[in-house]
Homo-oligomer: A and B are copies of this chain.
Amino acid sequence: MHSVNHEVKEILPKQLTARKRDFSRWYDQVLSLADIIDKRYEVKGMFVWKSYGIKLMKSIKTLWDKLFEENDIHEMYFPLIVPLEYAMRNREWFSGFKDSVFWVLLPGRDEAKHILRPTGEPAIYPMFKLWIKSRSDLPIRVYQTVSSFRYETRQTRPLIRDREITFWYEIHTAHASRQEAENELKKHMEINDEIWRNLAISPIKVEKPRWEVFPGAIGAIEYYVVMPDGRLLENGSCNNLGQAYSKKYEITFRDKDGRIKYVWQICTGNGARYLAAVVSLHGDDRGLIIPPSIAPIQVIIIPIYFKDKISMILKEARKLLNRLKKSGVRVELDDRLEIRTGEKFFIWEIKGVPIRIEIGPIEIENNFYTVFRRDTFRKEQVSARDISSYIKKLLKEIQVNLLNRVKRFYSEVIVECSGLEDLKTVIKTGRVAKVY
């Protein structure tokens, strides 16, 4: 039923590195073992997404698609290739990117006059100029989920620092007034909160200092998570662009008073780094732990085969599968005969499926199921009668427990500092200093 992950087969006898001993090595191993990424594609910083990785990422993407639609943010798609002329309309913007853009050469041409999008602005804002004419055209809210391209000179790393930044969403909005744009920013922060809640992670929000925002912009909120090695990982941002871009791209509207005015803009974006945070913060020495809200498989059923009883066990396992499916649980049955039970446990633990249900002759005879929680390793016998409601309750519990664990970790690793000496000590011991 499930095609086996080839990496898993090869590395199976070896142990996963302990996450706290060597986080960086653990991270690479787990991405490969869990069938998320293959790093062997021979362009530096560009990686192959394998099938479980796609499933995880699509699950997060489905969440943002739903949230954006509910908030009247419309999905569109803008071409990958950007004319240099569009990019040069904002020279300040372009000078920030020009050493890291990939150039595109059309067949038979000597000179490159196009770039791959490093981010959406230069493709999107010339269209905004065409679409916006009067006040009734506002607000405009659009987003796209695409790959962006930046020639990173720092060490590349899948989902964190890629030269092809995959599954990147970016929202761009335009408004008639500064106040409207500010309200919009709050809305986007609420949407972000909702995404993070589903990931069972509380991010750290930092208001960017003035000298760090885009030239001419009003402000920005930057999101971070603390990684297990104590480093901060930037993870999305909400930017109040003010009129910085609308002035460069001449995005104007005729207001009710008859005057032509520049629009006020917000942009926000994030993508595969959400998954990087989930992998890094919830994982443990046995692999991933996926929060139930976004788990593509919430429950895996493993039949414990005994020689003469295979068909009977399978029949009961399928019954359970259908029962849980009907009650709305995302559940699968690993009914393969050619793979040992222990290996199945190993595979699904690495993939971080939150709950495993074992069903064998003992369970069937005594009318219960053995339920294993991936986050606490606790096994319990649950009466067959109550299984659906028990599983639904347990999924909620696991979601809460994962968030609490992250909060506990933050409370250990983030230290409020009052003086410079204090700060030095905190940083030296691999923790995060919070300064006001």
A409 contacts chain B at the CB level, 8 A cutoff: no
Residues of B within 8 A of A164 (CB): 79-81
Copy tally for this chain in the complex stands at 2
State whether A107 and B151 are in contact (beta carbons under 8 Å apart), knowing that A3-B72, A48-B127, A72-B3 are contacts in the complex.
yes
A330 contacts chain B at the CB level, 8 A cutoff: no
State whether A38 and B147 are in contact (beta carbons under 8 Å apart), knowing that A51-B75, A77-B166, A80-B164 are contacts in the complex.
no
Check B78 against A51 for contact (C-beta < 8 Å).
no
State whether A127 and B38 are in contact (beta carbons under 8 Å apart), knowing that A43-B83, A99-B107, A104-B102 are contacts in the complex.
yes
State whether A151 and B106 are in contact (beta carbons under 8 Å apart), knowing that A86-B42, A137-B6 are contacts in the complex.
yes
Min CB distance A7 to B, Å, is 9
Check B50 against A76 for contact (C-beta < 8 Å).
yes
User: In whole angstroms, how far apart are the Cα atoms of A149 and B108 in the complex?
Assistant: 15
User: In whole angstroms, how far apart are the Cα atoms of A161 and B127 in the complex?
Assistant: 22
Mask, A5-31, CB within 8 Å of B = 1, is 010000000000000000000000000
Min CB distance A382 to B, Å, is 30
For the complex, count residues of A whose C-beta is within 8 A of B.
56
User: In whole angstroms, how far apart are the Cα atoms of A95 and B114 in the complex?
Assistant: 24
A127 interface neighbour in B41, B77, B106, Cβ under 8 Å: B41
A54 interface neighbour in B76, B105, B137, Cβ under 8 Å: B76
A81 interface neighbour in B3, B43, B82, B105, Cβ under 8 Å: B43
User: In whole angstroms, how far apart are the Cα atoms of A77 and B56 in the complex?
Assistant: 13
Mask, A41-82, CB within 8 Å of B = 1, is 111001111110011001000000000000010111111111
A278 contacts chain B at the CB level, 8 A cutoff: no
A48 interface neighbour in B77, B107, B114, B166, Cβ under 8 Å: B77
State whether A83 and B42 are in contact (beta carbons under 8 Å apart), knowing that A6-B131, A48-B78 are contacts in the complex.
yes
User: In whole angstroms, how far apart are the Cα atoms of A157 and B200 in the complex?
Assistant: 45
User: In whole angstroms, how far apart are the Cα atoms of A200 and B81 in the complex?
Assistant: 34
A337 contacts chain B at the CB level, 8 A cutoff: no
A103 interface neighbour in B50, B85, B105, B142, Cβ under 8 Å: B105
Interface residues of A in 118-168 (CB under 8 A from B): 123, 126-127, 130-131, 133, 137, 140, 142, 147, 149, 151, 164, 166
- Nearest residue (CB) in B for A103 is B105
A189 contacts chain B at the CB level, 8 A cutoff: no
A79 interface neighbour in B3, B48, B83, B107, Cβ under 8 Å: B48
A88 contacts chain B at the CB level, 8 A cutoff: no
Residues of B within 8 A of A275 (CB): none
Check B99 against A105 for contact (C-beta < 8 Å).
no
User: In whole angstroms, how far apart are the Cα atoms of A82 and B43 in the complex?
Assistant: 8
User: In whole angstroms, how far apart are the Cα atoms of A127 and B49 in the complex?
Assistant: 11
Check A79 against B126 for contact (C-beta < 8 Å).
no
Residues of B within 8 A of A54 (CB): 74-77
Check B107 against A41 for contact (C-beta < 8 Å).
no
A327 contacts chain B at the CB level, 8 A cutoff: no
A233 contacts chain B at the CB level, 8 A cutoff: no
A100 contacts chain B at the CB level, 8 A cutoff: yes
Min CB distance A94 to B, Å, is 13
User: In whole angstroms, how far apart are the Cα atoms of A121 and B3 in the complex?
Assistant: 21
Check B112 against A105 for contact (C-beta < 8 Å).
yes
State whether A105 and B107 are in contact (beta carbons under 8 Å apart), knowing that A48-B77, A48-B78, A72-B3 are contacts in the complex.
no
Please list 7 pairs of residues, one from A and one from B, whose beta carbons are closer than 8 Å in the complex, sorted by A's number. Answer: A3-B72, A41-B127, A48-B127, A49-B77, A80-B80, A100-B107, A103-B105
**Which residues of A line the B interface, CB within 8 A?**
3, 6, 38, 40-43, 46-51, 54-55, 58, 72, 74-83, 85-86, 99-108, 112, 114, 116, 123, 126-127, 130-131, 133, 137, 140, 142, 147, 149, 151, 164, 166
Interface pairs A-B: 8 shortest CB-CB = A51-B74, A49-B77, A46-B79, A103-B105, A54-B75, A107-B151, A6-B131, A79-B164
